[in-house]
């Protein structure tokens, strides 16, 4: 077994320079199992299936002779850039970047092969902001322009009667900012709040005296929305179904482990975070964060048209057809051995 897992700090510029030869290598000389699988993920609690799958070796167990090269990103749009450039083959991303690349490519770029997590995102604000009416003139951060939390914030602000701009203007200024930088700016009072995924919500609350103004779960029917999905490049999915099958099997194993070992999850996740970033999360932060995230193979496909409409209204995406966005055949094949109903593509792909 050949395994090579890279650390945090994947350099997109270098990947773009190498994309021509690397994409050819990833595709392999002929259809069949790929020689290499390059997987993107984030060091967020909402990406715990990736963190656990890497740390506990679930992916490598199933990939066999396929080399695994895992690379950490800061937000969905940057991971999508790498996927589009042929620098990675699959990625854990939020719904908005997945939808955006699918629409922009007219369905040719990538497909969602599984869900990963739901919930675990919120708007955290400083003292003195107790209602939406207090937000006029404030500066709020999101991880990156067009990412899932960025779209959620802009959509919610629009519903509350505030104008925003993708260039930073409007009644409320939305400032796309790296998660770690957003925490620092919030602690120093340079921003008034941030709409972020876990564990950053919990860090702003517990380490910077913020409080939750909006839990995104409260804005969705049944209190559940997709936060992270597993996306695979369309060509890779077509040319290497055996490798995608192995990836999905490792993913399903990681999700199952998280749900079956809740008391052990924090330690395993923290071990991977230390390996990537050099710093663990505090026990209080990781405990609070995990209590707000749910792990599931189901991508909640029925919510994706809503995600697209929100992104279009926010000015971060163009409208388009989502038919074919999901290919859940591999997932349902893996799940067939377990009890329960198959996962639905909600009419937006194969299942």
d(CA 60, CA 57): 5
Residue 206 is predicted with a pLDDT of 98
Put simply, whether the predicted model's pTM sits higher than 0.75 gets the answer yes
Give CA angle at 97 (113, 71), nearest 5°.
70
Residue 239 is predicted with a pLDDT of 96
d(CA 307, CA 290): 24
Residue 30 is predicted with a pLDDT of 60
Q: pLDDT tens digits, residue range 191-247?
A: 999 999 999 999 999 999 999 999 999 999 889 999 999 999 999 999 999 999 999
d(CA 121, CA 182): 15
Q: What homologous superfamily does CATH list for 121-223?
A: Periplasmic binding protein-like II (3.40.190.10)
Question: Residue 230's closest CA among 330, 108, 91?
Answer: 91
Q: Cite the residue boundaries of each domain of the chain with CATH code 3.40.190.10.
A: 12-118+225-350, 121-223
Query: Among all chains, which residue has been given the structure tokens 């792990």?
Result: 295
d(CA 161, CA 163): 7
3-state secondary structure of 349: strand
| Inter-residue contact 67 to 3 (CB < 8 Å) | yes
Taking 70 as the pLDDT cut, the residues of the chain under it are: 1-30, 339
> DSSP characters for 52-64?
HHHHTTHHHHHHT
Residue 302 is predicted with a pLDDT of 96
Give CA angle at 84 (100, 308), nearest 5°.
5
Helix axes 148-159, 95-104, angle to 10 degrees: 100
Average pLDDT of the residues of the chain = 90
Q: In this structure, which CATH number among 1.10.340.30, 3.40.190.10, 3.60.21.10, 3.40.50.300 belongs to the domain 12-118+225-350?
A: 3.40.190.10
Residue 31 is predicted with a pLDDT of 74
User: How many Cα neighbours within 13 Å face the side chain of 268?
Assistant: 21
């Amino acid at each position: 077994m050949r395994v090579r897992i890279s650390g945090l700090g994947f350099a997109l510029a270098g990947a773009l320079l190498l994309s021509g030869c690397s994409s050819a290598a990833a595709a392999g000389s002929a259809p069949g199992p790929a020689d290499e699988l390059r997987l993107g993920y984030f060091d967020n609690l909402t990406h715990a299936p990736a963190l656990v799958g890497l740390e506990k070796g679930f992916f490598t167990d199933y990939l066999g002779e396929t080399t695994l090269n895992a690379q950490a990103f800061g937000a969905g749009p940057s991971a999508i850039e790498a996927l589009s450039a042929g620098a990675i083959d699959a990625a854990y991303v939020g719904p908005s970047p997945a939808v955006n690349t699918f629409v922009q490519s007219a369905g040719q770029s990538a497909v969602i092969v599984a869900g990963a997590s739901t919930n675990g995102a919120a708007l955290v604000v400083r003292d003195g902001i107790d209602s939406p009416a207090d937000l006029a003139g404030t500066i709020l951060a999101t991880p990156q322009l067009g990412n899932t939390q960025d779209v959620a914030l802009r959509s919610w602000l629009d519903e509350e009667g505030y104008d925003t701009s993708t260039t930073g203007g409007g009644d409320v200024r939305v400032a796309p900012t790296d998660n770690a930088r957003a925490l620092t700016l919030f602690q120093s009072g340079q921003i008034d709040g941030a709409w972020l995924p876990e564990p950053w919500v919990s860090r702003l609350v517990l380490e910077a005296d913020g409080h939750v103004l909006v839990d995104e779960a409260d804005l969705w029917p049944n209190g559940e929305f997709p936060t992270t999905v597993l996306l695979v490049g369309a060509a890779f999915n077509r040319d290497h179904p055996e490798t995608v099958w192995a990836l999905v099997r490792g993913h399903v194993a990681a999700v199952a482990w998280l749900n079956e070992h809740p008391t052990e999850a924090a330690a395993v996740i923290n071990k991977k975070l230390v390996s990537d970033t050099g710093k663990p999360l505090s026990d209080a932060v990781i405990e609070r964060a995990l209590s707000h995230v749910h792990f599931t193979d189901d991508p909640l496909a029925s919510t994706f048209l809503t995600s697209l409409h929100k992104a279009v209204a926010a000015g971060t995406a163009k409208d388009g057809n989502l038919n074919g966005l999901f290919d859940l055949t591999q997932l349902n094949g893996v799940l067939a051995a377990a009890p329960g109903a198959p996962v639905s593509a909600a009419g937006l792909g194969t299942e």
